[in-house]
Amino acid sequence: MSRKPVIGITPLYNLEHNFPWMQVDYLDAVAAAGGLPVVLPSRTGGDAGALLDLADGVLFTGGPDIMPHLYGEQLIPQCGKCSPLRDEMEIPLAYEAASRRIPIVGICRGIQTINAALGGTLYQDIPTQHKSDTPVLHSQENHIEKAWPSHKVTVQKGSLLHKAAGEDTLTVNSMHHQAVKNIAPGFKATAWSEDGIIECMEYSGDSFILGIQWHPECMHRRDEASMEIFRVFIAAASAFGRI
Ligand code: MN
């Protein structure tokens, strides 16, 4: 009997009371797609490679903002609360995972983690730094429960996301106030909201690296496109782990 691909999931972290925790939707979505979700420790001990030896895929989760100096910018007042502990763990982990060509998915903060780790930049605050004639509300928290969508994205034909979701347009949830600004070298944007914000990015080479700005793990129980994102991830992890 073959084993299940192990997906290392970066833990969330309670900054006020200093403990790691996990949102069960990430675990459920990975498990529903056939993976074995394993929550990683909140520190690597300086050896990201030792953790990656255990994983067939890595999922970078949502969370607070990334410290702007990590992508070469100075803090602006509109930037949100940052988590130096998570940055310290996740940025080297993302870099090392990409170097090893381990399949990676980044969700919300996770797409931003991947982009910052691999040489891209972020909008510290979308309303301040990304003006649009067709503004989109990217924070639905006070209006719509997170399992339901609030804005559209247009999906690039021929992209990994398009092949997975099978649609030119998706309706997605939105709980972010930062976003990818300059995309990291080697990556392409493959979905955009109507204000032009990048909502999905993919690695152009052979490695499986997918960054999603929305939260498919919250929608996977009722949305087939969200579920399919996890299925293609687990398939890539299976292939990587020769399972
Ligand atoms: Mn959005």
Instruction: Give pLDDT, residue 62.
Output: 98
Is residue 166's pLDDT more than 60?
yes
In the DSSP assignment, the letter for residue 71 is G
Which contacts qualify for 67-73: CB closer than 8 Å, 24 or more apart? 68/122, 68/124, 70/116, 71/115, 71/116, 71/120, 71/121, 71/122, 72/121, 73/121, 73/124
Residue pair 227/220 in contact (Cβ under 8 Å)? The answer is yes
Instruction: Give pLDDT, residue 1.
Output: 56
Backbone φ and ψ of 61, nearest 5°: -90, 175
Average of per-residue pLDDT across 114-141: 97
pTM, two decimals, is: 0.98
Q: Which of 232, 242, 155, 169 is nearest to 198 (CA)?
A: 155
Instruction: Put residue 185 in one of left, alpha, beta given phi > 0 → left and psi -120 to 50 → alpha.
Output: beta
Is residue 238's pLDDT more than 90?
yes
Residue where the block lists tokens 């100096």: 69
Residue-wise pLDDT for 41-68, tens only, equals 999 989 999 999 999 999 999 999 999 9
Residue where the block lists tokens 């953790």: 51
Residue-wise pLDDT for 152-164, tens only, equals 999 999 999 999 9
Residue-wise pLDDT for 86-124, tens only, equals 999 999 999 999 999 999 999 999 999 999 999 999 999
Options 82, 108, 200, 218, the catalytic residue: 108
Q: Is 215 a catalytic residue?
A: yes
Q: Is 224 a catalytic residue?
A: no
Residue pair 151/136 in contact (Cβ under 8 Å)? The answer is yes
Residue-wise pLDDT for 62-71, tens only, equals 999 999 999 9
Instruction: Give pLDDT, residue 2.
Output: 80
Helix (H, G, I), strand (E, B) or coil at 44: coil
Options 96, 199, 202, 217, the catalytic residue: 217
In the DSSP assignment, the letter for residue 68 is G
Other Cβ atoms less than 10 A from the Cβ of 156: the count is: 16
Options 138, 151, 215, 220, the catalytic residue: 215
Q: Is 217 a catalytic residue?
A: yes
Q: Which of 61, 159, 156, 155 is nearest to 111 (CA)?
A: 61
